[in-house]
Structure 1
Amino acid sequence: MFSKIGQLIFDNEAVAKTSDFTMGLEIEMQRVDDTGHLSQEPYPSAIGDEKTNPWITNDFLETMSEVVTPAASHALDAMHYLYAINNVLRSALAPGELLWPLSMPPKLPKDKSTIQTAKMGPVKEAYFKEFIKRHGFSKGTPCGAHINLSIDDHIIDLVLKNFPERFKNRIEVQNYLYTVLAQGFMRYRWLITYLFGASPIAEANYFDKEDELPHPIRSIRQSSYGFGTRFSGCFVDVQKYVKRIEEGLKQGVLIADHDFHSPVRFKGTKDFRDLPKKGVQYLELRMLDLDPSSSVGVRTGTLRFIRLLSSYFIMHPALKADDVDQVLGKADEMNEDVSVELPTDQCKYQNKARAFIKSLERFANQIQLGPEYQEILEDLEDRVENPKTTPSAKLLSYVENNSLEKYALRRAKRYQEAALESIYQFKGFEDDAPMSAEDLKRELFYGNWEVQ
């Protein structure tokens, strides 16, 4: 059953458009040499300065390249950007360098002090140093696919116009709608971990001997063994979200606000404390492992599924304020259960997953989405019924001597060769001046392709 806002959106559009949400992508990948070690090469000089290039930068390690796309209105357009910028990065790598296609890092040296953290200025470098002191070096090395999701202005205007007694201004509408989305993604994070988890094992020296896993799991990165700080946020509303982070900072649990490594984060202001009064501009979704079957770490179908989830969440009733903490706390426990399961085992919550996918199928039919969405849901339904078809389970067939190194290098070399065969000479990053999204589009596509 639609919420009142959901019914309003449905009645005014008849067919829900996927353009109601725009997406920007952030894809992290480690630079390695052709033997599977972290690269010793510096940030590629052909792509400018890592501190000023907004589209190809570094995160945590000097070898952790991060490709950032401008926002696009369609999943296919976002992928066009991603492929193009990924190819630019690949063309700038030193001879023999590759991009590691897995979320978990390649084998690490026993003496991790020999690895260079990213040269992102004194403030960021001090943060990295404190992060390592608190959490250990390995916890900062996993890579992932982040999706920046924003609601189209016409939805915000539509809601404000039709609910003047409920919302005083656009900011209130924005903050409410983004809270609804955040609650939905946090509530069903466990399902995303099941469907897309792809980090079943770690390479040498990621874990200390006493901490090694007893068996492969669905997603190290999305489990308690994975990335970052174990600090629970509050998603009752934007004000309480900010207050919770402030409490973490005062208690010394968080080093800085960006030390809040939640699977979902509210974004849009330089200072997070301004979010309640200036408004959330987009959600940052951080729950996807890299997909090693794609040269860019994510597939178009996955983005379409995320967009389908967004439509579903925004058009259905939000959690009651008094229930949010309890429901999302339970969801965190479910995600841990799912993430540490043996990838080939039936999911503990298979019945819940099956029921939710059926609800999404009915929803997609109700709002008359195209056949590409039906195909995606059929594939995901098969993953629910047969865990051996999930990404993490598929990876297990490539494990040799407790390692995925051979598989990862084979993929990395194939992707690198394909990129070098397709690229053209790109010179847009040769000076250190930041390049705008319009400049980037013009340089990448010569005006032959119009991104939406």
Structure 2
Amino acid sequence: MDFSQRLQQISANPDALTQIGRGLEREALRITPEGTLSAQPHPAGLGSALTNQWVTTDFAESLLEFITPVSRDVDNLLTQLSDIHQFTYSKLGEETLWPMSMPCFVGSEDDITLAQYGSSNNGRMKTLYRQGLKHRYGSIMQVISGVHFNFSFPDAFWDQLFGEQTAEARQAAVSDAYFGLIRNYYRFGWLIPYLFGASPALCGSFLDNSGSALNFEKVGCGTYFLPNATALRLSDLGYTNHEQSSLKIGFNSLEQYLKGLQRAIRTPSEEFAKIGVKVEGEYRQLNANVLQIENELYAPIRPKRVAQSGEKPSEALSRGGVEYIEVRSLDVNPFSPIGITEDQVRFLDLFLTWAVLSPSDPMDDAELACWRDNWNRVVLDGRNPDLQLKIGCNGERLSLQSWGLRVFAELGQVAEVMDQAAGSDHYQQTVARLKTWVENPDLTLSAQLLAQIKQQDGIGKVGKVLAASHADALKTRDYQFYAEQAFEQEAAASHAKQQQVEQSDTQSFDAFLEAYFDYLK
């Protein structure tokens, strides 16, 4: 079946498209009123970073991460994220949240304190993992922020697509469909940094530590930019691991993906071995393999399954197949107090639905390299009106605008069906608005941000103004989904839960690590 036939097939059941599961994870650095990185520890009023379900930390003490539960309603999803931000601001004092993906001014690596999770073995392992990342890639690269979008189709969607199946056949069919989606994401997902990339410029303090050879232009006393860049966060300056480039992890099946992932966490790295694992009684990293643990794999999209207690991500996938996918290529939207907007969520709904319904042939390493080259062209030069993208590995090319409009024509069909199911026109409005961004690159987030940076003479000034504006908006709103008391109770309960975890440890840290990595032997 082709795309249109599949779309017609799922449109017969409104639940197939109105019961999509979504979750958001937004990262944000805490900054001082002067616009520099906060040196304060994670605020105690926010609870334990180890056990709080809504507010935690990512790489550093100053790098907050906000997590929503799964929601079937777009408005509820964004309201939940707004409430979490609102509560967080009530505990920040004079601090605000840096509104961009690329970090604010950071004097040196030593200004970044690794996230601390207490004295439990699990908590110490989380910090040691970050210690390894620091030694491998440097701390400044690790405080780049992003927004992750978790997405799953409901059972009704698969029922319409596949009909009646045994549980075993359904599990395999769903995993295959998600991997088809992932392959199409690599083929066409450059639309996401084109539209929503918001890191066309960066602070010179970051560039000093990157050793980049890109031909940057300068504005103000220390802001560097590329004229047509969209998402420098996704370039070689950001989340890359050159050791991983040789892994060749494939996306043609769950089995191929898991095999590649297992190889990565078992492959020793000569470069990382030079760091040492335990030197003079002090751990420097979890191990010297290409990946310390599976989470270290940098990818713009990941297949996922909720893990059971004590289960590793790949074990969960192997047990139950793909349950949802995690989109990881979204920059923080600097113009939204919560880092993402309704249009962005609805576009991702449309794009991911289109990607799973569209034909998706197997992809070899050479083809994957072609698509990665397209992504790189878009993140570095995406607003160049003359930019040409590959449409295969045979040398044929098409302008970004022409190709983007072809995709939008089919996204419009998905929008009609999704609006019909929901009894609204929200998705069609999103398509109409964002189509103009394809036609006019000056409307994209990166263009809007770069214009402000040039106008205000630097990224620091823009960041401080936006941060203050977002703080005011979040502090003056009313809670709309959660009650403030729910956050206070969760914060208190998370501190108690961390204490319980710490008191229940019976192994030494050395023995704990040995048991955890027993599967590598």
Give the TM-score category using the shorter length: 0.7 to 0.9
Maintained 8 Å contact 1:180/1:314 = yes
| CA separation of 1:38 and 1:169: change in aligned 2, threshold 3 A | same
| Residues 1:249 and 1:417: Cα distance change in structure 2 (over 3 Å) | same
Cα offsets for 1:220-247 (capped at 9, x unmatched): 1111221243535321111111111112
* 1:288 alignment counterpart: 330
| Residue 243 of structure 1: aligned partner | 259
Q: Tell me what 1:304 maps to.
A: 346
- Distance in 2 between the 1:343 and 1:80 partners? 32
Cα distance, 1:311 vs structure 2 = 1.9
1:420 counterpart residue number:
475
Residues 250 and 421 of structure 1: CA distance in aligned 2, closer, same or farther (over 3 Å): same
Query: What letter matches 1:44 in structure 2?
Result: P
Verify: 1:21 aligned to 2:31, yes or no.
no
| Residues 167-200 of structure 1, C-alpha deviations (whole Å, 9 max, x = no match) | 8433213312221222222222211111111001
| AA at the equivalent of 2:336 | S
Residue 55 (structure 1) aligned with residue 54 (structure 2)? yes
Instruction: Kindly indicate whether residue 264 of structure 2 is the aligned counterpart of residue 264 of structure 1.
Output: no
User: Measured at CA, do residues 297 and 368 of structure 1 come closer, stay the same or move farther in structure 2, by a change above 3 Å?
Assistant: closer
The residue number in structure 2 matching 1:338 is: 378
Instruction: Specify the SS of the correspondent of 2:204.
Output: coil
5+ long unaligned stretches in structure 1: 437-452
Moved more, 338-347 or 60-69: 338-347
Output the CA distance in 2 between the equivalents of 1:411 and 1:346: 32
Aligned pairs for 1:174-185 within 5 A: 174-185=174-185
Aligned residue number for residue 220 of structure 2: none
Q: Report the Cα offset of residue 430 of structure 1.
A: 3.5
* Residue 133 of structure 1, CA deviation: 1.7
Contact 1:189 1:331 (C-alpha < 8 Å) held by counterparts: no
The equivalent residue for 1:394 is: 448
Residue type of the alignment partner of 1:380: L
1:114 aligns with 2:154: no
Q: Match of 2:62, SS? A: strand
Quote the offset at 1:130 in angstroms: 1.6
Pick from 355, 359, 364 the counterpart of residue 406 of structure 2: 355
Q: In the TM superposition, what are the counterparts of 1:50-129 in structure 2 within 5 Å?
A: 50-93=49-92, 95-109=93-107, 111-120=108-117, 121-129=123-131
Q: Check conservation: 2:16, 2:160, Cα contact below 8 A.
A: no
Deviation at 1:50, TM superposition (A): 0.7
Q: 1:418: how far off?
A: 2.1
Q: Which amino acid aligns with 2:111?
A: T
Q: Which amino acid aligns with 1:201?
A: A
Instruction: Report the residue type matching 1:8 in the other structure.
Output: Q
What SS does structure 1 have at the residue aligned with 2:63?
Answer: strand
Q: Could you say which residue in structure 2 is the equivalent of 1:214? A: 215
Give the equivalent residue in structure 1 for 2:280. none
Of the structure 1 ranges 273-282 and 291-300, higher mean CA displacement relative to structure 2 is found in 273-282
Structure 2: distance between partners of 1:18 and 1:25: 19
TM-score (norm 2): 0.77
- Contact 1:364–1:374 (Cα < 8 Å) also in 2: yes
2 CA distance for matches of 1:360 and 1:19? Answer: 16
- Counterparts of 1:256 and 1:402 in 2: how far apart (Å)? 42
* Structure-1 residue corresponding to 2:435: 381
| Structure 2 unaligned spans of 5+ | 118-122, 217-225, 268-288, 389-399, 498-521
- Say if 1:54 and 1:435, in contact at 8 Å, map to a contact too: no
The answer on whether the counterparts of 1:36 and 1:405 sit within 8 Å (CA) in structure 2 is yes
Give the aligned partner of residue 371 of structure 1: 425
- Residues 100, 385 of structure 1: alpha-carbon distance in 2 compared, 3 angstrom cutoff: same
Residues 122 and 368 of structure 1: is their aligned pair in 2 closer, same or farther, counting only changes over 3 Å?
closer
CA apart distance, 1:219: 0.8
Alignment partners' CA distance in 2, 1:423 and 1:371: 27
1:191 aligns with 2:191: yes
Distance 1:8 1:372, change over 3 A: closer
- The one of 408, 416, 433 aligned to 2:463: 408
Residues 25 and 148 in structure 2, CA contact (< 8 A), matched pair in contact too: yes
Give the stretch that moved more between structures: 242-251 or 170-179: 170-179
| CA deviation map 1:253-303 (0-9, x unaligned) | 222110011111111133233213322221111010011111000001110
Q: Which moves more between the two structures, 181-190 or 408-417?
A: 181-190
Identity, % of aligned positions = 26
1:130 is matched with: 132
Q: Summarize the Cα distance change of 1:388–1:434 in structure 2 as closer, same or farther, 3 Å threshold.
A: same
CA distance in 2, matches of 1:198, 1:381: 18
For residues 317-336 of structure 1, the C-alpha deviation after alignment (integer angstroms, 9 at most, x for no partner) is: 2x223x35444332111000
The 2-side partners of 1:237 and 1:152 are apart by: 21
Moved more, 353-362 or 336-345: 336-345
Q: Distance in 1 between matches of 2:174 and 2:443?
A: 38
Residue in structure 1 matched with residue 275 of structure 2 by the alignment: none
Q: CA RMSD in A?
A: 2.5
- Separation in 2, partners of 1:22, 1:132: 34
* Contact 2:60 2:113 survives alignment (8 Å): yes
Instruction: Identify the match of residue 273 of structure 1 among 314, 337, 352.
Output: 314
Q: Which moved more, 1:383-392 or 1:29-38?
A: 383-392
Q: Which amino acid aligns with 2:232?
A: I
Deviation at 1:116, TM superposition (A): 0.2
Question: Aligned with 1:24: secondary structure?
Answer: strand
The answer on whether the counterparts of 1:60 and 1:141 sit within 8 Å (CA) in structure 2 is yes
1:201 equivalent in alignment to 2:201:
yes
CA contact (8 A) 2:46 2:91 kept: yes
Give the aligned residue type for 1:432.
Answer: A
**Which residue of structure 2 aligns with residue 449 of structure 1?**
none
TM-score of the pair, normalised by structure 1: 0.88
Contact 2:304–2:313 at 8 Å: present in 1 too?
A: yes
